[in-house]
A and B are shown apart, each in its own frame.
Chain A
Amino acid sequence: MLQIENITKSYHNGIIGWKKKHQVLHGVSFACEAGESLGIIGESGSGKSTLVRMILGIERPDQGQIFLHGKSVEYRSTRRGQISAVFQDYTSSINPFFTVERAIMESVHLRTNIDSNSIYVLDSLLEQVGLNASFKKRYPHELSGGEAQRVCIARAIACRPQYLILDEAISSLDVSIQVQVLQLLKELKNIYNMGYVFITHDIQAAAYICDRIIIFRQGQIEEIINTDQLSQVQSDYGRTLLATSIVL
């Protein structure tokens, strides 16, 4: 289980002596069960990416703790091969000096037990995300946006993580590609039974893939709601989102 307990975080902007404290997260707590798909929806600047950086152990919260199976994610050994991520910006998500093969294999080697021949693993991973073996020797700049994001997904699942954190993973893709990638994510979830923390602006995408949705606003959780009860959402922001999505 992934437990987020009372996280606060603030940033200090400006130069020394003139610093302005800017609190981004105000005591955020929630839990994501194994195999559960949890959506986080919130407006721009509400602190979603900041929260993701904490969950991934890249930054430390000021207060509060994040546990994976009872161990703090601050330790590398807790995260190694257990948590993985897909980010929004596919242009900077793969090392420009790495081939697709090398990028994915680096993640494969994080697995606690490599069960089969690694070449076979690579081919089947590429196939699973809808690419073929000819992509192996390509460099990131030779991929389209959708292909690059598929490679990122392949790399993220290559270490067989228990949790996959997706920070606006589909936002910068073409709408038709978005649908394909969403379907892919749903299929992969069924195959590997991973837990998802799915961050998005798009309530329809969240409704498609998530079991529960967190409405996030100004660094606080406004509401947690099951996807099948989405129409009974209480918070203002949630209702606005829902209204706009119905209009669309």
Chain B
Amino acid sequence: MNIWSNLRHDRIGMLSLVTVIAVIVIGICAPIIAPHDPLTVNMSLRYNGSTWSYWLGNDQLGRCILSRLIYGIRPSILLVLWILLISIGIGTALGFIAGYFKSKVDAWIMRICDIMLSFPGYVMTLAIVGILGVGLENIVIAFILTKWAWFARVIRTSVMQYTELDYIRFAKASGISNWHIIRRHVVPVTFADLTVIASSSIGSMILQISGFSFLGLGIQAPHAEWGMMLNEAREVMFTRPEMMLAPGIAIIIMVSAFNFLADALQVALDPRLHQSASTYTSSKKWQVRI
């Protein structure tokens, strides 16, 4: 089963993939790509519309919106992806152990999850930041600590439901090692659930990061961040609504790109989904092979 060759035929999926990769590259190369310094204040350009040198215009301090948008990729997308990766990594590992081996291990992991989940996410994050101090690294730690339990819970339920199936029983009975069973038989089928929770948390995480920045606990004021740009624009929402457009559209594009990409990956991975969509091509391929 070749995921890549299936994904290649999915136009929306490919477009999303290209968008995500492009945005990540732009974020990494921000100093080279951004036309201006995102922090340079120029009060004479305050609230300027788009011009040839400032494509997206200037904000309330006359800073280049495009440059701020590009620099904002770093905390808004790269950091969120990073947090997501680590918390999903921890959550998935523990979820698999709990769901696959069950019994005592499961009970322990789930009780810890219950404890983590019994506090509202924001309160927990605030408490952790309160203990560790203000700063981006601490926000990251707090986010990971509050998110992993949720992922572990979802993955565990999904794994549990699959390990009761007869093909897993067959593999266990045949004496195939647990590691191989998990890798070959459980991971692919739980991947669908994984992509759903991952892509659905990206949007809320971008907004949460900005929420903490707004409280002065995360990214500090002059630095650019999409959520913070939205907040700044909110003050002039009625007089200059166009100020909200750039960060707003950027967030919408990224959230949809991640969602479409998740869908496309799911379809590419699951033969039950992609074959019905392309019966003609697959049957032709099949004839050629014979």
Contact = CB atoms under 8 A, between A and B. Distances in A.
A85 B188 contact: no
Nearest to A107: B174
A18 interface: no
B176 A58 contact: no
Contact of A87 (B166, B172, B175): B166
A54 to B, nearest CB: 11
B110 to A, nearest CB: 12
A96 B169 contact: no
Contacts of B173: 56-58, 79, 83-85, 165
Contacts of A56: 169, 172-173
Given A96-B189, A96-B271, A137-B289, A57 B170 contact: no
Contacts of A134: 290
Interface string A141-175: 11000000000100110010000010000000000
Contact of B270 (A83, A85, A97): A97
B36 interface: no
Q: How large is the interface on B (under 10, 10 to 19, 20 to 34, 35 or more residues)?
A: 20 to 34
B19 interface: no
Contact of B175 (A80, A93, A156, A165): A80
B167 A141 contact: no
A162 to B, nearest CB: 13
A81 interface: yes
Contact of A92 (B166, B188, B272): B166
Contact of B177 (A53, A76, A95): A76
Contacts of B169: 53, 56, 58, 85, 87
B269 A97 contact: yes
Interface string B190-218: 00000000000000000000000000000
A241 interface: no
Q: How large is the interface on A (under 10, 10 to 19, 20 to 34, 35 or more residues)?
A: 35 or more
Interface in B69-107: none
A93 B218 CA distance: 50
A81 B173 CA distance: 10
B185 A95 contact: yes
Contacts of B115: none
B174 A80 contact: yes
B115 to A, nearest CB: 17
B167 A95 contact: yes
Nearest to B185: A95
B167 A92 contact: yes
A113 interface: no
Contacts of B32: none
Given A97-B189, A110-B175, A139 B170 contact: no
A9 to B, nearest CB: 15
